[in-house]
Structure 1
Amino acid sequence: MINYIGLGDLYRIYLTMQRAGAGFNVAYIGDDFQAEHKEQFDPGYMRALYRFGYEKAARGYPWEHAPPGFQAEDR
């Protein structure tokens, strides 16, 4: 549920920025992250997630201009 609340907040912020004519930049871990999630609080999974994000950022991860599930509008 917490995951969906956060995603809903992200969508709301994106749509608010669209209505205001403002830019929107977001970085997120997409479906390209694959690691086994054994339990609710899994330190190994969390380390793998952090390492994946860190390595993406170190290579110059480009900003997305819309959240997952939306296509950015050209302005």
Structure 2
Amino acid sequence: MLDNFKGEELRAVAKRLKARWEGKRHFLLECSGGLTLQNIGSYLCHDIDIYSTSSVHQGTGIIDFSLKINK
């Protein structure tokens, strides 16, 4: 996960990681931290596989629930 990386730094690190492990290991790169629906375009990169944002649920109400497991 590349957290709180932005712009050119994000693209450079993602590219280096993918190049370093090419043909050796399969992995997914995720970026997060500061992404919103309004600015996601500045994070787009061919080497990033997953984009995470919490902005879609920021400012929403809470739900109180529980889970009971019977054995």
Give the TM-score normalised by structure 1.
0.33
Which structure has the greater CA radius of gyration?
A: 2
* Higher strand fraction (1 or 2): 2
Instruction: Using CA pairs under 8 Å that are at least 6 residues apart, name the structure with larger relative contact order, 1 or 2.
Output: 1
Give the TM-score normalised by structure 2.
0.34
